[in-house]
A and B are shown apart, each in its own frame.
Chain A
Amino acid sequence: MSSENIATTHHQNEEVAWQGGHSPFNVSYGKLMMWYFLLSDAFTFASLLISYGALRFSSPTWADPNKVFSAFPGMGHREVPLGFVSLMTFILILSSVFVVLAVIEGHRNNKQGVMKWMFGGILGGAAFLGCQAWEWTHLIHEGMNIWANPFGPQAFGMLFFLITGFHGFHVFSGVCLNIWAFVNTANGEFGSRNNGYEMIEKVGLYWHFVDLVWVFVFLAFYLL
């Protein structure tokens, strides 16, 4: 059964979609598995953020993010509240945009385009990780770590390092996946596959998820 057939039956009759013999959502099993994996991973992050909420609400005081996150590299002691983290967030979202463009180029079967934008995505992810490393180093120098926190309760420090660390680990594995996808594009592996550059889409899904989770982490630690 060709893919056009699947598409037409899918549109003609929703009932037919579930009758077996083809994918009811018109997606490959790989993408379906990626979606369910992301759902699962979302539950992990949700649990961590709910734990954050539970510990924060049981604490009589909390640190003021405008005071904790006010440093900017190269600015000396001048305070730029949330300036650096805004830049980090911008970089991460930009890298997500690059990966979207890579997916589009993949649909067009344009190897050079995929490589160009994927490279941008990798660069953005690596830059984000670099920024995070700088921020962590700076905070640790200021005395905030998982055992102590000069800005407020201990719980703030340990939750911050654990949850941003767990997110950073996801970014790191995302960058690794993106590099793997880049290499396989460059050596023509994806181009020769039946489903073309679908792997770019799957890797992209993961990358956007990591981006989306950052929005919630950002909200919890920097804004609220």
Chain B
Amino acid sequence: MATTEIGLDHHLSNHDDHEHHEHHDNFFTKYVFSQDHKIIARQFLITGIIWAIVGVFFSVLFRIQLAWPNESFPILETLLGKWAEGGKMSPDFYYSLVTMHGTIMVFFVLTAGLSGTFSNLLIPLQCGVRDMASPFINMLSFWFFLIAGLIMFSSLFLENGAASGGWTSYPPLSGLPEATKGGGMGMTLWLVSMALFIVSSLMGGLNYIATILNMRTKGMTMFRLPLTIWAFFFTAIIGVLSFPVLLAGAILLIFDRSFGTAFYLSDIFFKGEVLTNHAGQIIEGGSPLLFQHLFWFLGHPEVYIVILPAMGMVSEILSTNSRKPIFGYTAMVYSIMAITVLSFLVWAHHMFVSGLNPFVGSVFVLVTLLIAVPSAVKVFNWITTVWRGNIRFTPAMLFAIGFVSMFISGGLTGIFLGNSSLDIPLHDTYFVVAHFHIVMAIAAGFGMFAGIYHWFPKLFNGRMMNEPIAYIHFWITLIGSYCIFWPMHYLGMTGVPRRYFSFNEFDTFGVYGDLNVFITVAAIVVFCTQFLFVFNFFYSIFYGRKMKTLNPWKANTLEWTTPRELGHGNWPGAIPSVYRGAHEYSKDGRDYTPQHIPDSQLDNYNPIIAEAVK
């Protein structure tokens, strides 16, 4: 193949200090303490999948409570012991489940599992780099994530249970260790785990930014980057700038809880008595709203940390499988940029009912609704990309289309919630639960599935996932997800509050008994279906069909120029140079135009020879 020799290997000399020449790999250096970005991506992915099973299983448990609050299930006592005496779940345990479900899914699955996996895998491969800027810090990023996860996991087995103050951990509830069962050691471990997770996210993010800015291969201008890379780039920027604010908030909370300060606490009455601190003084001067500001300054950008990587991968997959250039590449880039900037300016829309000055609220309404503009630009561009395309319905493509569907459905309800006046009746109801699950959680989950199905050959030595199982997985997940979350809109519109353990005391909500059963059954079906995916995933790692050509999706991007089984360093020879943008499909009578072939050689490019498995 003559084409890969074009362009000097200008990166090789810079990378002599990295260990892609190492010859003495043993199991530990190769798979455990690896500094290879592809292995780290696998580590993130598999850890993320394990966390996803745990997190979604928790939601099934509390859905059982919500559907059948009066029944008792002996199996629950077998499983949970003292937390479900007589087969009925205890309220404390329910709140721990809700808290842990939120924390695990948002941070461990959709942040680390999604962004950690695909940023690590695709940034070096699609930018034409042998490894991350600092492979060592990259490795530390995973290990901090793993330790954070292990600490969170160990908190599940505490005598008094895990943290139970909600994933947002609002003080004063979270600031008073004695107030709830999980508020003691469980909450402390939650905070320690989050602090470690922030460190992990910071180390990953710095690497992604430095690699994308500094180490792109020759000819890879910023505006030739695939949209995946743009998305990872801005995700990393959001992470680097918003997580430290949560760190500050968490430090103050740790001091309030463990050392008796009063940053968030003021005039607290507990069991009829006013609380005093170690010096015998009444605790005063703090502001619980301060935590909400600090938390949501991370919390809102966090949802974009979750959704942007999915958006980037979906753009790439839609374009590749429609055999059309992405519609409005530049507009896509600028809308990611606009979302990034706006994401930092909208946090108080989570606080409309907190007693916020209504004028301040109106400013946040304006900025919040402004985000609809770049989001809509992206949605219309996806639709126009697929429009009249020569669509191949691969599993990845189906999940990408499902992503767009979810993002539209959930995005529209965001316009309701972004209005402060409409938010007053809807706040903290199931309407909110439906909104953020569809637009953020399920959509990002679909993005993750799309990414796994599409890039599986690059993750696991050129093996492909089984397609029939993937189709079953897709359809049940799509329909099931709508069945779970669509009815919640109706619950929410009539005021059913979220986070409640049981609605037995509220006759008004009694009419929803059947609907809650329906939601739970759908949730159980979707949960069980995911094991098809898990089976497919692990089976394909070892026994999946090997891809027949190096470029199974006939894509333009650089990762498909690498050999089937990737070594450390990615390209055995020189790193290919880049001559055009990433999304040029069906142009000049060519089905696709790989980025690394110079114009002069395009006529001689024979994919059958060039992409044959070596």
Question: Do A44 and B248 contact each other (CB < 8 Å), given the known contacts A19-B219, A21-B218, A155-B285?
Answer: yes
26 interchain pairs, CB-CB under 8 A: A1-B8, A19-B218, A23-B213, A23-B215, A25-B214, A30-B134, A33-B134, A36-B206, A43-B244, A43-B245, A47-B244, A47-B248, A47-B294, A48-B248, A51-B252, A51-B290, A58-B285, A145-B279, A147-B281, A148-B279, A153-B285, A155-B285, A155-B286, A158-B255, A158-B263, A162-B255
B10 near A40: Cβ-Cβ < 8 Å: no
In the complex, the answer to whether B216 meets A21 with C-beta atoms within 8 Å is yes
B residues 238-294 touching A (CB-CB < 8 Å): 240-245, 247-249, 251-252, 255, 259-263, 277-279, 281, 284-287, 290, 293-294
Q: A39-B241, A47-B245 are in contact. Are A32 and B279 (CB under 8 A)?
A: no
Closest residue to B248 on the A side, CB-wise? Answer: A47
Query: Within 8 Å CB of A32, what residues of B?
Result: 133, 209-210, 213-214
Would B281 and A29 count as touching, CB distance under 8 A?
A: no
**In the complex, which residues of chain B have a beta carbon less than 8 angstroms from the beta carbon of A41?**
244
**In whole angstroms, what is the CA distance A22 to B277 when docked?**
57
Q: Please give me the residue from chain B that is nearest to A51 by CB atom.
A: B290
Residues A154 and B281 in contact, CB atoms below 8 Å apart? yes
Tell me the nearest residue of chain A to B575, going by C-beta: A21
Please give the distance in Å from B225's CB to the nearest CB on chain A: 9
| Per-residue interface assignment for chain A, residues 38 to 60, with 1 indicating a CB less than 8 Å from any chain B CB and 0 otherwise | 01110111011001001100110
Interface status of A18 (Cβ within 8 A of chain B): yes
Given A47-B297, A147-B281, A29 and B134 contact (CB-CB distance below 8 Å)? yes
Within 8 A of A (CB), among B204-232: 205-207, 209-211, 213-222, 224
* Known A-B contacts A19-B219, A20-B221; A44 and B290 likewise in contact (beta carbons under 8 Å): no
Q: Does A166 contact B (CB under 8 A)?
A: yes
| From B10, B213, B219, contact of A24 by CB (8 A) | B213
Q: Is B578 an interface residue (CB 8 A)?
A: yes
Q: Which residues of A contact B207 (CB under 8 A)?
A: 33
| Contact in complex: B290, A20 (CB < 8 Å) | no
Instruction: Kindly provide the distance from the CB of B17 to the nearest chain A CB, expressed in whole angstroms.
Output: 8
Contact assessment for A51 and B263 in the assembled complex, using a CB-CB cutoff below 8 Å: yes
Q: Roughly how many angstroms separate A37 CA and B249 CA in the complex, as a whole number?
A: 18
The CA-CA distance from A29 to B138 in the complex, in Å, is: 13
Q: By DSSP majority rule, is chain A's interface helix, strand, loop, or mixed? A: helix
- Residues of A whose CB lies within 8 Å of any CB of B are 1, 18-25, 27-30, 32-33, 36-37, 39-41, 43-45, 47-48, 51, 54-55, 58-59, 145-148, 153-155, 158-159, 162, 166, 194
Of all chain B residues, the one with the shortest Cβ separation from A145 is: B279
A21 to B213, CA, bound (A): 10
B53 to chain A, nearest CB (A): 32
- The residues of A that contact B251 with a CB separation of less than 8 Å are 48, 162, 166
Does the CB pair A20–B244 fall under 8 Å?
Answer: no
A28: chain B residues within 8 A (beta carbon): 214
Q: A25-B213, A47-B294 are in contact. List 7 more A-B contacts (CB 8 A).
A: A1-B8, A21-B10, A29-B210, A29-B215, A148-B279, A158-B255, A194-B17
Q: Does B450 contact A (CB under 8 A)?
A: no
Contact B261 A162 (CB under 8 A): yes
Taking the closest CB of chain A, its distance from the CB of B326, in whole angstroms, is 20
- B202 proximal to A (CB < 8 A): yes
B287 touching A40, Cβ below 8 Å: no
Q: If the complex has contacts A59-B285, A158-B262, are A36 and B248 also in contact, measured as CB distance less than 8 A?
A: no
Among the listed A21, A27, A39, A147, which residue makes an inter-chain contact with B240, where contact means beta carbons less than 8 Å apart? A39
Name the CB-closest residue of B to A49: B248
- Flag if B240 contacts A58 (CB, 8 Å): no
**Pick from B209, B219, B281, B293: contact of A20, CB under 8 Å:** B219
B288 to chain A: closest CB distance in Å? 12
Please tell me if the beta carbons of B287 and A58 are within 8 angstroms of each other in the complex: yes
Give Cα distance in the complex from A137 to B297, angstroms: 35
Residues of A within 8 A of B206 (CB): 33, 36-37, 40
Q: How far is the CA of A55 from the CA of B288 in the complex (A)?
A: 11
Contacts of B213 in A (CB 8 A): 23-25, 32
**Given A40-B241, A54-B287, A158-B255, CB of A29 within 8 Å of CB of B214:** yes
Please determine whether B281 and A148 come into contact, CB atoms closer than 8 angstroms. Answer: yes
A30 to B294, CA, bound (A): 30
Cβ–Cβ contact A21 & B217, under 8 A: yes
Residues of B within 8 A of A153 (CB): 285
The 6 closest A-B pairs by CB, nearest first: A21-B218, A47-B248, A20-B220, A147-B279, A29-B133, A155-B285
Chain B residues lying within 8 Å of A48, measured Cβ to Cβ, are 248, 251-252
Chain B nearest CB, measured from A145 CB (Å): 7
**Chain A's nearest CB lies how many Å from the CB of B217?**
6
* B247 in contact with A44 (CB, 8 Å): yes
In the complex, the answer to whether B263 meets A55 with C-beta atoms within 8 Å is yes
Instruction: Please determine whether A44 and B245 come into contact, CB atoms closer than 8 angstroms.
Output: yes
A36 to B503, CA, bound (A): 49
Cβ distance B568 to chain A, nearest Cβ, rounded Å: 18
Which residue of chain B has its CB nearest to the CB of A161? B261
Q: Within the complex, what minimum Cβ distance (angstroms) separates B24 from chain A?
A: 23
CA distance A33 to B290 in the complex (A): 30
B216 CB contacts on chain A under 8 angstroms: 20-21
The verdict on A43 contacting B285 (CB below 8 Å), with A19-B218, A33-B134, A158-B263 known, is no
